């Protein structure tokens, strides 16, 4: 079992009327997991990752949402050195964003630019199958 937590308070040191928050600086992050190896032929893990909300602009008036993801892995080792495993990413199929930005943009049919959060969503639940042979 393992766990890590990080708390931060990132700020610009120079005075600026725009504000002193650093856009995108994560204030809280937690990672925890449980793994099992050397328990016979099976191996696996369950991992959780949490990123807290973060400022998107210097005055902290726009913030991202927090995200929480769970990944899992289960595998089997054969006596001949072959291992097979399945890894599931975003096990709970959470809807969250990998990264968020706040800026002004304008779509082709919009008369004026609009300030808004732009983002890249996390991948939907996905499965990776792995085969490894050690000789």
pLDDT at 38: 73
The bridge status of strand 28-39 relative to strand 2-7 is antiparallel
The span from the CA of 108 to the CA of 105, in Å, is 10
* DSSP designation for 90: S
What are the residues whose beta carbons fall under 8 Å from the beta carbon of 7, sequence distance 6 or more? 27, 28
Can you give the C-alpha Rg of the chain in angstroms? 21
The pTM of this model reads 0.83
Contact status, residue 57 vs residue 21, Cβ threshold 8 Å: yes
The tens digit of pLDDT for each residue in 43-81 reads 999 999 999 999 999 999 999 999 999 999 999 999 999
Angle at 89 between CA 82 and CA 120, to 5 degrees: 140
Largest CA distance in the chain: 67
The tens digit of pLDDT for each residue in 85-112 reads 999 999 999 999 999 999 999 999 999 9
The span from the CA of 18 to the CA of 2, in Å, is 40
- Structure-block tokens of residue 98: 């990998």
Cα dihedral 87, 91, 94, 100 in deg (nearest 10) = -20
């Amino acid at each position: 079992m393992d766990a890590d937590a990080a708390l931060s308070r990132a700020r610009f040191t120079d005075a600026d009327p725009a504000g002193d928050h650093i856009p995108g600086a994560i204030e809280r992050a937690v990672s925890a997991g449980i793994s099992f190896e050397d328990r016979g032929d099976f191996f696996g893990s369950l991992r959780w990752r949490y990123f807290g909300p973060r400022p998107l602009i210097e005055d902290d008036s726009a913030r991202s949402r927090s995200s929480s993801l769970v990944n899992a892995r289960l595998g089997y080792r054969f006596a001949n050195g072959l291992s097979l495993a399945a890894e599931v990413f975003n096990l709970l199929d959470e809807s969250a964003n990998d990264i968020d930005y706040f800026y002004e943009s304008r779509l082709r049919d919009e008369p004026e630019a609009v300030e808004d959060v732009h983002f890249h969503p996390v991948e939907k639940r996905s499965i990776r199958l792995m085969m490894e042979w050690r000789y």
